[in-house]
Amino acid sequence: MTLVDQFQRRISYLRLSVTDRCDLRCAYCMPEAQTFLPRNEVLSLEELYRLAIGFIDRGITRLRLTGGEPLVRRDMIELVRALGRKLGNGLDELTLTTNGTQLARFADDLFAAGVRRVNVSLDTLDRAGFARLARRDSLAQVLEGIAAAQAAGLTVKLNTVALKHANADEIPVLIEWAHSQGLELTLIEVMPLGEVEEDRFDQHLPLSEVRTALERRWTLTASEHRTGGPARYFDIAETGGRIGFITPLSNNFCDGCNRVRVTATGQLFPCLGGGEQIDLRAALRSASADVALAEALDLAMKIKPLRHSFRIDAPGSAPALSRHMSMTGG
Ligand code: SAM
Ligand code: SF4
């Protein structure tokens, strides 16, 4: 039976986190001294595979592997290969969200396994700015990774978190560069997920402001393009490319939600911005795993909320949720 929630939204998209670990420490995502989970708490490769198959059997047709940084998990490519065999056989699309640092190494393998699109996070093209924001001097590796992915035949989409201080002035440069490379770029508002060093209010840059600034420089035309996700797209006449806006704070995007998320420990979050949680690891490890998993997914459909409850109202606001994006899987 397919997955339909209490608001009649058909859930066809799973974001599965394969690790909470990462080789970067983006300031908006996690603190420098992030503590990672003990390895035995994380689902094994076989459990991740069984879980994914359980979802595919219930009508999930699009699967995105994420993290943390998915490509730092050692056995990750084996999982991609195994899931790639489901393409055309229940699964329509297998994608990845990555910071790009390991892409040069894995791009060919990903393509060979059936992956056709990857999202790469890139918030700045300035080496010093990157090292400050990601707290690692890895811009060159990321750019190399993007080029390798394109050379391997993968369609690369860039994700850029708009930040009041770290990259606000640089957004037009990033867009121009992306479009000159034939890359689509989507801007994302920072979300109040987990404690980081800086106050979220000081990071938050409403995309309405970014759009106004871009419209002073370029001609933006609303595009009919849709991916089934929360982004709204605009074509830019002058650059000949497209940009997306994901605005969880300034414009609620929940009505057409088609997704759920599962962490690397098998916790299902029906909503990125909600407190609801279901333990799929317990279901997977129970004596009658298939029945327990099916029941857990039915329950998820009953408790998926209508909308998230993010807010960044004022300086010093507590995070909406204590978990970091690297845990839930972006
Ligand atoms: N490590 C991979 C990467 O950076 O693409 C995948 C995981 S990362 C958590 C997924 C996406 O979430 C990235 O595009 C990242 O920029 C974004 N992200 C992380 N923390 C965020 C936050 N607090 N608000 C908005 N986006 C965030
Ligand atoms: Fe790592 Fe991605 Fe979080 Fe940056 S955004 S710290 S790359 S998980």
Q: What's this model's pTM, rounded to 2 decimal places?
A: 0.92
Q: Which listed ligand is nearest to 136 at the C-alpha?
A: 2
**Which atom of ligand 1 is found nearest the CA of 28?**
23
Ligand nearest to the CA of 310: 1
For residue 232, the SS3 value is strand
Cβ of 121 below 6 Å from ligand 1: yes
Which residue, judged by its Cα, is nearest atom 11 of ligand 1? 330
Q: Closest ligand 2 atom to the C-alpha of 22? A: 1
Write phi, then psi, for 60 (nearest 5 degrees).
-75, 120
30 Cβ inside 6 Å of ligand 2 = yes
Domain topology for 13-328? TIM Barrel (3.20.20)
Q: Spell out the per-residue pLDDT of the chain, length 330, in tens.
A: 899 999 999 999 999 999 999 999 999 999 999 999 998 899 999 999 999 999 999 999 999 999 999 999 999 999 999 999 999 999 999 999 999 999 999 999 999 999 999 999 999 999 999 999 999 999 999 999 999 999 999 999 999 999 988 899 999 999 999 999 999 999 998 887 777 777 777 788 889 999 999 999 999 999 988 877 778 999 999 999 999 998 876 555 677 788 899 999 999 998 877 778 999 999 999 999 999 999 999 999 998 888 776 655 555 555 555 666 666 655
Q: Is 121 in the pocket of ligand 2 (CB under 6 A)?
A: yes
How many whole angstroms separate alpha carbon 166 and alpha carbon 161?
Answer: 10
Indicate the pairing of strand 13-17 with strand 62-66: parallel
Show me where the domains of the chain are located: 13-328
3-state secondary structure of 267: strand
